[in-house]
Amino acid sequence: MIPVDYYLFLSLALFTIGVIGVLTRRNVIIMLMSIELILNAVNINLMVFSRMWGTVDGQVFAIFIITDAAAEAAVGLGIILAFFHNRETVLADEMDIMKW
């Protein structure tokens, strides 16, 4: 049986890739994809500990998170489309309207 550490490191690697993607990529769509990576890193963590303790709580949470991710992707893409209509850009560093 593969020890838990392996999974945790895989999860950590995915999470780090996701965070770096969100922080460095200018394209908002890619930032959304990176957020999916972060969420799936969390999902792996939940599955591992669920498996380890022999309960289903983690799996239930994982399903919730997948649902949430789908909803988030739908809403996020909608926002991006609307924004593109108005500003003709999907680049995050050109979006500064949240400034004071």
Binding residues for another protein, rule: CB under 8 A, are 19, 22-24, 26, 28, 31, 92-93, 95-100
User: Side chain identity at 79, as an amino acid letter?
Assistant: I
Q: How far apart are CA 16 and CA 22, in angstroms?
A: 10
Shortest distance, position 100 Cβ to another protein, whole Å: 5
- Closer CB to another protein, 8 or 92, in the complex: 92
> 20 or 56: whose CB is closer to another protein?
20
CA dist 94 and 100 (Å) reads 15
| Nearer to another protein among residue 35 and residue 62 (C-beta) | 35
Give the integer Cα–Cα distance in Å for 91 and 72.
19
